[in-house]
Amino acid sequence: MFFPLYIAKRYLFSTQKNHIINWVSFISVCGVAVGTMALVCVLSVFNGFQHVIEGMFSSFDPPLQITATHGKSFEPDSIAHVLSDSRIEAYCEVIQENAMLCYADKQVPVLVKGVSKNYSQVNAIDSILIDGSFSLDDKYVHTAVAGIGLARTMGMSVHFVEPMWFYVPKREGKVNMLQPEKSFYREFAYLSGIFMVQQEKYDHNMVFVSLNLARKMYEYPTAVTAVELRLKPGVDEAKVQEQWQELLGDDYKIQNRYQQQAEFYNMLQIEKWVTYFILSFILLIAVFNIIGSLSMLIIDKQDDVKILLDMGATPRVVRQIFLFEGWLIAIVGAVMGVLLGLLLCYLQSSFGLITLGSGEGFVIQAYPVRVVWSDVLIIFSTVVIMGFFAAVYPSKYFYSHK
């Protein structure tokens, strides 16, 4: 074994447990371990929340979505060469626009999403329905599906027979100031289902209607605002997305689920890494204990140092002993912290030790945990690098005073 490392290991794992220096080194290791454990647990909880939210969005957002780069709408025929790709399992034409919803004596602006009949083949919409059914093509009347927040605000239910009315400004013509209502299309639909995504912008604002009703309200005879697609199982989604983007050019953009919710996911990532830097700063304070430990060890081992020098060791070798001592404290603390953090994450995911609360409004009852090994590697590297720089100064202290 490398001589300086061997001596450093002997100092750290000395059998003299009653020696004050050993206790100081042990406290330094524990401080590093606790900080590392906190980083592993907190980042894993952030990953857990992101995984839960991804699961909710995956039932609502399509795997791939094609929209126009310029303008709101486009003709589906312009991308017919993409829609005829044999790797597509199903696709759905979509018209998504704003409207004024009136029900009884209440009115509120909403986002209307008109979809074709095969929408449920592209999105797992049935999994987020909490009442009624996803039925938009009744033989006799128009039907719609609304978010739970919107239904509660308006006092709507699938069991009520009163229709909801949509008011949409006409795309062409002048506003009649004497009869402003003549400048709006007025269509009605009955509520057939209620969905819940646990996201306010959907649950409180969105209404699904049939594509035919949307075409009529927004005067889109053949155009659409988006085409949503699902690929066959086993197809490489990223590769297909890249190929289609090159084929369609800059006039269209193809987005996966992450890109459709880019702002939300970016916010989660920012919160996660800001928390990482804050906890790393706290960990840095714990790592400073290494400086105190090594300084006391250098003072305590002066007699051992003289013996080593008399036996032919150079000042550089002695300095390496204390440098490796600091590194060992950081590495042992990091390993212990990672193992303890992984153990706590396992217990939390298996038994839900820490709950979110006793209320019924939570999607989950306990804090979700998901360990990402790249995060664990980053945490371990952070601790080791901090320990490296913390050990440099006290180890140089010996060399500069010889």
Show which of 240, 257, 274 is a domain's final residue: 257
pTM as predicted:
0.77
Q: Same domain, yes or no, for 93 and 31?
A: no
pLDDT, average across residues 326-337 = 91
Domain closes at, from 257, 276, 308: 257
Do 200 and 243 fall within a single domain? Answer: yes
Q: Domain tally for the chain? A: 2
Burial of 336 (0-12, 13-18, 19+ CB in 10 A): middle
At 60-118, the pLDDT tens digits run 889 999 999 998 999 999 999 999 999 999 999 999 999 999 998 899 999 999 999 89
Residues 388 and 365 in one domain: yes
pLDDT of residue 178: 59
User: Based on the domain organization, do 371 and 320 belong to the same domain?
Assistant: yes
Per-residue pLDDT reduced to its tens digit, 189-212: 999 999 998 888 899 999 999 999
Is there a single domain that holds both residue 340 and residue 203? no
Does the structure show a pLDDT above 90 at 181? no
Do 85 and 217 sit in the same domain of this protein? yes
Q: Within this chain, do residues 45 and 150 fall inside the same structural domain, yes or no?
A: no
Residue 249 sits in the same domain as residue 367: no
296 and 209 fall within a common domain: no
User: Which residues does 13 contact at the CB level (< 8 Å), separation at least 6?
Assistant: none
Q: Please, is 41 exposed, middle or buried when counting C-beta atoms within 10 Å of its C-beta (0-12, 13-18, 19+)? A: buried
Q: Are residues 68 and 51 in the same domain?
A: no
Question: What is the spatial distance between Cα 107 and Cα 153, in angstroms, rounded to a whole number?
Answer: 10
pLDDT digits 0-9 by tens, 241-290: 999 999 999 999 999 998 998 888 888 889 999 999 999 998 888 888 88
Domain residues for 95?
64-257
CA–CA gap between residue 341 and residue 346 (Å, rounded): 9
**Looking at the structure, do residues 200 and 85 belong to the same domain, yes or no?**
yes
* 160-173 pLDDT, tens digit each: 889 999 999 887 76
The conformational region for residue 197 under phi > 0 = left, psi -120 to 50 = alpha, else beta, is: alpha
Select from 239, 257, 275 the last residue of a domain: 257
Both 71 and 200 in one domain: the answer is yes
